[in-house]
């Protein structure tokens, strides 16, 4: 089966320049969209394809675009590629950015045309230095070839594109915090409504999409929504970039049909667990998802199936917990990260995450008390969905709440033996 996102990405050669990219069909979707489709027809194609956002939310992309007001002739609108990939364990967008930046630019041009945006930004993680160089080169090439700028392909459509490198805050992955950062403000989330589709960057209609989401757009426009839905045998359409990190024989990233099982990912593509290590659990979609355990290995990695199993697909990049790694230390490490990355805007997150991290550290160091487990459980409730300003703290609570469920005996052993058994 053709894997559209990665078919022109190879570790054996550098990223394609514009000439090479167009020679293998690059920018055909721009020609098709701007010369033979209306913006509404492009949006309808994407909506019918059932492309769900690949940044973690899983909302229908075309539906999201449809909320942008279209009877606004002359009004500035913005399209933003969220490339601020700072979710621990997630590295899928990096492959696309470093492997084929023109694919992202092409997807952004077509997406901007669909919502009639005339200014676009790529908001890039600060640490992706190689990607920044490649993207900037690709943007210059696209301008020189007439794919960006004024009157693209004689269509009357104009689009500016800029690369913006963030300063390294996890909260910028939240779309409204990203908008504040782009405006030069403190990167804190905004109240919704109004939603960015109506009032986003500088108060103008704005769409923020994940890199992987945008890279799918050219293929949908070129091949049609039925083709895209046919790539997956399951309930969710298309392919997905799945990643695995941890003690497996071949950690890495693969583009596979949406709905590939955890077992196939681990045993076939990642080569199984390393010698003398046994699978114990996994965070299926990055650090801010609930653990799934051995009984879930045959769960399909799609939005509905992972949710039914008690977790979230998230970014689709799996972090493996093996039987020789302390689950308490594992979770403490994650909560330490989240406590550092809280923007401090709301009290539960600002105060609760450092408190949680300190409790976990004391348990890991053999200083924990039995009542600490009740305190941790309380934090998972008070920092759960609906109790904080954004999703950072609820996401941080997912590995903790599921860890207390599946590894409670390990927490109690730390407390009773007054040390970490894995040290």
Q: State the Cα–Cα distance between residues 297 and 196, nearest whole angstrom.
A: 38
pLDDT at 235: 86
The third-level CATH classification (topology) of the domain covering 327-417 is de novo design (two linked rop proteins) (1.20.1440)
DSSP 18-30: HHHHHHTTTTHHH
The verdict on whether omega for the bond into residue 48 sits within 30 degrees of 0, i.e. cis, is no
CATH classification (class only), 239-322: alpha beta
Reading the block at residue 234, the tokens are: 């399951």
The third-level CATH classification (topology) of the domain covering 18-230 is Rossmann fold (3.40.50)
Alpha-carbon Rg for the chain in angstroms: 22
pLDDT at 73: 77
Match 């409730």 to its residue by tokens: 381
Q: Report strand pairing: 317-322 vs 239-245.
A: parallel
pLDDT at 74: 79
Burial of 73 (0-12, 13-18, 19+ CB in 10 A): exposed
pLDDT at 274: 98
Burial of 93 (0-12, 13-18, 19+ CB in 10 A): buried
Match 């909302």 to its residue by tokens: 59
Q: Give φ, ψ of 400 to 5 degrees.
A: -70, -50
pLDDT at 423: 85
107 contacts 301 by C-beta, under 8 angstroms = no
pLDDT at 204: 97
DSSP 138-201: HHHHHHHTTSSBSSGGGSS--BEEEEEE--S-GGGGSHHHHHHHHTTS------SSSPTTTS-G
Q: State the Cα–Cα distance between residues 342 and 131, nearest whole angstrom.
A: 26
Reading the block at residue 323, the tokens are: 């039987």
Write down the pTM of the prediction: 0.96
Reading the block at residue 87, the tokens are: 């979710």
pLDDT at 113: 98
- Which of 297, 354, 374, 293 is closest to 327 using CA atoms? 293
DSSP 80-131: EEEE---STT--HHHHHHHH-HHHHHHHHHHHHHHHT--EEEEEE-TT-HHH
pLDDT at 189: 96
Print pLDDT tens along the chain (423 aa): 678 999 999 988 899 999 999 999 999 999 999 999 999 999 999 999 999 999 988 899 999 999 999 987 778 999 999 999 999 999 999 999 999 999 999 999 999 999 999 999 999 999 999 999 999 999 999 999 999 999 999 999 999 999 999 988 999 999 999 999 999 999 999 999 999 999 999 999 999 999 999 999 999 999 999 999 999 988 899 999 999 999 999 999 999 999 999 999 999 999 999 999 999 999 999 999 999 999 999 999 999 999 999 999 999 999 999 999 999 999 999 999 999 999 999 999 999 999 999 999 999 999 999 999 999 999 999 999 999 999 999 999 999 999 999 999 999 999 999 999 998
Tell me the β-bridge partners of 322.
Answer: 279
pLDDT at 1: 61
Tell me the β-bridge partners of 258.
Answer: none
pLDDT at 303: 95
Q: State the Cα–Cα distance between residues 316 and 387, nearest whole angstrom.
A: 26
- Which of 398, 158, 146, 390 is closest to 287 using CA atoms? 398
Domains of the chain, residue spans: 18-230, 239-322, 327-417
Give the long-range contacts of residues 264-272, CB within 8 A, separation 24 or more: 265/301, 265/318, 266/297, 266/318, 266/320, 269/242, 269/244, 270/244, 272/248
pLDDT at 142: 98
Reading the block at residue 322, the tokens are: 């093996």
Calculate the alpha carbon distances from 40 to 6, 37, 70, 152, 223 in Å: 28, 8, 9, 18, 17
């Amino acid at each position: 089966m053709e894997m559209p996102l990665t078919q022109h990405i190879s570790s054996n050669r550098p990223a394609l320049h514009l000439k090479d990219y167009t020679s293998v069909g690059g920018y055909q979707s721009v020609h098709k969209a701007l010369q033979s489709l209306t913006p509404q027809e492009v949006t309808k194609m994407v909506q019918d394809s059932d492309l769900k956002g690949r940044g973690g939310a899983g909302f229908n992309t075309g539906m999201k675009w449809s909320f942008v007001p279209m009877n606004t002739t002359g009004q500035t609108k913005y399209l933003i590629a969220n490339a601020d990939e700072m979710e621990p364990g997630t590295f899928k967008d990096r492959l696309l950015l470093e492997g084929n930046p023109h694919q992202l630019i092409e997807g952004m041009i077509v997406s901007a045309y669909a919502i009639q945006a005339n200014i676009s930004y790529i908001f890039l993680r600060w640490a992706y230095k190689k990607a920044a160089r490649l993207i900037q080169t690709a943007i210059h090439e696209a301008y020189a070839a007439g794919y960006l700028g004024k009157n693209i392909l004689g269509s009357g459509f104009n689009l500016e594109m800029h690369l913006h490198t963030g300063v390294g805050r996890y909260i910028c992955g939240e779309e409204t915090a990203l908008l504040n950062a782009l405006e030069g403000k403190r990167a804190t989330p905004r109240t919704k409504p109004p939603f960015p589709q109506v009032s986003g960057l500088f108060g103008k209609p704005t769409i923020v999409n994940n890199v992987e989401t945008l890279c799918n757009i050219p293929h949908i426009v070129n091949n049609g929504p039925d083709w895209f839905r046919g790539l997956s045998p399951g309930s969710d359409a298309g392919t997905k970039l799945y990643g695995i990190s941890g003690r497996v024989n071949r950690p890495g990233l693969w583009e596979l049909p949406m709905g590939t099982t955890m077992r196939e990912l681990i045993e076939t593509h990642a080569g199984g667990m390393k010698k003398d290590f046994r699978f114990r659990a996994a965070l299926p979609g990055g650090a801010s998802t609930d653990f799934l355990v051995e009984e879930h290995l045959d769960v399909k990695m799609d939005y509905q199936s992972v949710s039914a199993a008690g977790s979230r697909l998230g970014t689709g990049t799996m972090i493996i917990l093996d039987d020789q790694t302390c689950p308490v230390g594992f979770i403490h490490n994650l909560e330490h990260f989240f406590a550092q990355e809280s923007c401090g805007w709301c009290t539960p997150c600002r105060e609760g995450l450092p408190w949680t991290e300190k409790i976990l550290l004391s348990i890991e160091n053999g200083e924990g008390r039995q009542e600490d487990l009740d305190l941790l459980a309380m934090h998972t409730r008070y920092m759960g969905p609906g109790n904080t300003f954004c999703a950072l703290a609820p996401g941080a609570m997912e590995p903790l709440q599921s860890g207390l469920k599946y590894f409670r005996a390990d927490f109690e052993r730390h407390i009773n033996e007054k040390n970490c058994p894995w040290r």
